[in-house]
Amino acid sequence: MKRRVSCRILIKEARSRGLKFVYALSPGQDIVFSSSCDLTLLKRKLRQVSDLGCQAFAILFDDIDHSMCQADSEAFSSFAHAQVTVTNEMYRFLEEPPVFLFCPTEYCGSLCSPSVSKSPYLQTVGEDLLPNITVIWTGSKVISRKLSVDCLAEVESVLQRPPLIWDNLHANDYDSRRLFLGPFKGREPQLRSHLRGLLLNPNCEFEANYIPLHSLGSWYTAGKEERKDEECEYCPDRALSAALHDWMEELNQPLQAGRQSTRADQRSSASTTRCKTPDRSDCSSTFRGTSVVDKLPVFPLNSSSPPSSPTKAKGETETEKKRVNQSTQPNHQPQAPRPGAPSGGGRGQKAQGWALCGGKGLLSESQVRLLVGLYYLPHEYGPSAQKLLQDLSWLKANCHLVSSNSKKTPPQKIDEWRGRSSRVLSLCEDIAQLHCSVVGGANRAVLYDLYPYVWDLRNTALVAKAFICWLDGRVLSDSSTLGTWKNCFHWCGKTTGADLLGVESEPWVFKGGVSGEVQMLLPIGSSSELFTHPPPLFPTSRLYNIRPYHGKDKLELYRMVRQLHLRTQGGQESSLHPDVIGDRCLGPCLVLCPEYCFILEDELGVCGCVLGILDVRLFGKRCQASWMPAMRDKYPTKGGNIHPNTQDLIQLMEEDQGEYPESLLYHFPSQLRLDALPELVDVSVSRTLLTALLTALKANGSQGVFCEVQPTDRQRLEFLTKLGFLEILRGEARSREGVVLGRLL
């Protein structure tokens, strides 16, 4: 009963707004066309909706198997004959309603066998389907890059009627990492006179469809104009600018999820249907009505912290104050000219060039243009995305110019590499700021629909930015004695998404969009588990950065690990030497292999780090030769005022340098250690930080990496397991209870 009432209201509301509500059924999966019982059930279903006031219907036979059961094979001459017979009967049963749509199984040129003009299936449809029934068509492909009058003339001739275009240009239900915010494009305005109609299948996210629908309106208006002057002709770029101008006002309105607003001009909602792609067979509605609004959570996302009880919120505020007050490191001048240098300043001092992103702000038009360029159209990227991918590809192909062991490179070549690098870093920073503005913006409805995509791209851009910074002076060229650099040119296989996305390819051939393209340009791009994760439940507007370690970071890192150690000891200060914790946890890596250390920082400063060792065997020898003697001199066993606990830690340092089994190092020659402050709001950046290190290790030839974890540290065990790490050793690890997790690269 509730469904009938809701459906009646929906039909009435659509009619009052000048919209046609079309009720569609897809009976093709289980219907027996020759069964009178099945036809009776189908008629009963259609009659129920007709009695509610519906006057438009559709029978859809897309994306189903062509085979028929034995009974149907005996009753009908072909699959098309069976579909047409049932469709005609339903049409007559409903007394020939003014709108009745039929979607054939061969609904685009690429699905026709052997071709559109010679398809027996389409010929049967054209000859036997009643003339007032409209046939749905998507073009030459499921998602057609272009639709022209010439290509429609052929199908119109076969179907013996103008088709109705079901346009999947902006449908994104086949790729969870892509949105299509670009204008309606690639469709000649003259098509109108050759069509019975056009349906735009939109993005699944309601708020992402403003520009597609706005520009569709411009296209439709241009097609109706009789004047031939330039201003009346449809131009996608002009349509995009006009749509952006109008969208900007709405983007900064205080709309809540479900489009709740204090303004009186509530806009009507629209129902959307699924994309006719092979990936989906279900039909889910994204209609937004008042009954749905009450069920949507609306979180107070105007700060960088998730919603919590007043007590917890106060505690978190006090924690942040401690993080600010504990900073004692003086501000440093930025280091040039190499990109990725630390911004200087201790915890609590704003990173240079950053602005705090908490609170609700306004999205600028330049940021929205960047967003549209990054999520443009299925066959085409916008200017910002094209430039990003071009520069990244060039930097990757020419990174030997700035390798750590290359022969002398002409200064102008180095300048060119660093110039392109600066452009990429700047764009990655713009993406981070875009993420910050979307989360901190006033329009919560836009946030909830766009956040998963902007968050995903932000994380991928963080890895790319860190990796480009790392390449300069740290990557090994193919002259390396390790002999591994040649393999790095197989980072992303033989082709990229741009190569696969040709005119003749469907967009789902290469998934991921710009995020996927950037991912595949990285050494570990094929490891999807490092990049594809659901976004956090509570979005945060905090601005994060990942970069390679520099010497001036040592003091802040030592302070951070000392703080973490004190928390495990109940927070009580001890008489330990202030460096002893850092010397044990971080010192060997920071001194002997600083090129595999990455820093995570937010607006307050350093909040995490990850340390890597490329070759554990060689590292152990170097520790015994230089690091341990230096520690014995720094913490002498005789004389002085050395605390007994310090001596225990010195002993642990020596035990840390024990050897791992050769069976482990053969497959996993590299090692890592990850540390981050527990008040880190967006835990996904820890995964991104670890991914940055794995990218560097892989680029310099590592084939596997391991990490030692205490079995009681369930949170870290779960974190690493989700990233593809598997338990390798238990009991043979150096810690008596340690568990060694490893993953191949």
Contact 489, 710 (CB under 8 A): no
Q: Which of 62, 63, 615, 682 is catalytic?
A: 63
- Helices 444-474, 383-397: axis angle to 10 degrees equals 20
For the cut 50, the answer to whether the pLDDT of residue 338 exceeds it is no
User: Would residue 42 count as lying in a domain?
Assistant: yes
Give me the pLDDT at residue 288, please.
Answer: 31
Per-residue pLDDT tens digits for 79-125: 999 999 999 999 999 999 999 999 999 999 999 999 999 999 999 99
Give tens-digit pLDDT for 23-45.
999 998 889 999 999 999 999 99
Residue 599 pLDDT exceeds 90: yes
Higher-confidence position of 529 and 239: 239
Count other C-beta atoms under 10 Å from residue 580's C-beta. 27
Question: Is residue 662 in a domain?
Answer: no
CA separation, residue 543 to residues 141, 263, 367, 435 (Å): 41, 32, 16, 8
Residue 438 reports pLDDT greater than 50: yes
Q: What's the whole-model pTM score? A: 0.82
Question: Which of 127-136, 531-540, 673-682 has maximum average pLDDT?
Answer: 127-136
Mean of the pLDDT values across residues 590-602?
Answer: 93
What's residue 257's pLDDT? 66
pLDDT of the residue at 86: 96
Query: Residue 198 falls within a domain, yes or no?
Result: yes
Question: Considering only 150-164, 338-352, 503-517, 703-717, which range has the smallest mean pLDDT?
Answer: 338-352
Please report which confidence band the pLDDT of residue 356 belongs to, taking 50, 70 and 90 as the band edges.
very low
Among 321-335, 442-456, 493-507, 561-575, the least confident range: 321-335
Number of domains in the chain: 1
The answer to whether residue 623 scores a pLDDT higher than 80 is: yes
Residue 214: inside a domain, yes or no?
yes
Name the more confident of 288 and 165.
165
Report which of residues 273 and 371 the model is more confident about: 371
Q: What angle do CA 340, 512, 296 make, to 5 degrees?
A: 100
The residue among 620 and 272 whose pLDDT is bigger is 620
pLDDT grade for 362, boundaries at 50, 70 and 90:
confident
Closest of 647, 622, 648 to residue 636, by C-alpha: 647
pLDDT at site 261:
55
Look at residue 186 and tell me whether its pLDDT is greater than 90: yes
**Mean pLDDT for the stretch of residues 183-209:** 92
Residue 275 has pLDDT above 50, yes or no: no
CA atoms within 13 A on the CB side of 296: 16
pLDDT in tens, 278-332: 443 333 333 333 333 333 233 323 333 333 333 333 444 444 444 444 443 333 3
User: What pLDDT score was predicted for residue 688?
Assistant: 93
**pLDDT at position 162, please?**
95
Report pLDDT for 695. 95
Q: Has residue 729 got a pLDDT over 50?
A: yes
pLDDT over 50 at 355, yes or no: no
Question: Band of the pLDDT at 579, cuts 50, 70, 90?
Answer: confident
In a domain, 437, yes or no: no
State how far the Cα of 503 lies from the Cα of 495, in Å rounded to an integer. Answer: 16
**Rounded distance between C-alpha atoms, residue 668 and residue 140, angstroms:** 49
Residue-wise pLDDT for 209-257, tens only, equals 999 999 999 999 886 655 555 567 889 999 999 999 999 988 888 877 6
Both structure tokens of 64: 């189903």
Q: Say what the pLDDT of residue 652 is.
A: 73
Query: In which region does residue 287 sit, left (phi positive, over 0), alpha (psi from -120 to 50) or beta (all else)?
Result: beta
Q: How far is CA 248 from the centre of its chain?
A: 23
CA 7, distance to chain mean position in Å, is 35
Most confident of 128-132, 151-155, 504-508, 706-710: 128-132
Strand partners, 167: 200
- 489 domain residue, yes or no: no
Q: Is 63 a catalytic residue?
A: yes
Q: What percent of the chain clears pLDDT 70, i.e. is strictly above it?
A: 76
Range of the domain at 107: 2-257
Among 225, 229, 218, residue whose Cα is nearest residue 187? 218
Task: Dump the DSSP string for 301-364.
Answer: -SSSS----HHHHHHHHHHHHHHHHT--PPP-PPP-SSTT------TTSPPTT-----S-B---
Tell me what the pLDDT averaged over the chain comes to: 80
Is the per-residue pLDDT at 485 higher than 70? no
Position with higher pLDDT, 617 vs 291: 617
Higher pLDDT, 528 or 373: 373
* 484 pLDDT above the threshold of 60: no
Phi-psi region of 475 (alpha: psi -120 to 50; beta: other; left: phi over 0): beta
Q: What is the CATH number of the domain that holds 166?
A: 3.20.20.80
Q: Is the pLDDT of residue 696 over 50?
A: yes
Residue 643 lies in a domain: no
pLDDT of residue 481: 40
Query: Which helix (H) or strand (E) segment is 124 a member of?
Result: helix 120-128
For residue 612, give the 3-state DSSP assignment: strand
Query: Which residues, 6 or more positions from 137, have their beta carbon under 8 angstroms from its beta carbon?
Result: 107, 108, 152, 155, 159, 163, 164, 165, 166
In a domain, 77, yes or no: yes
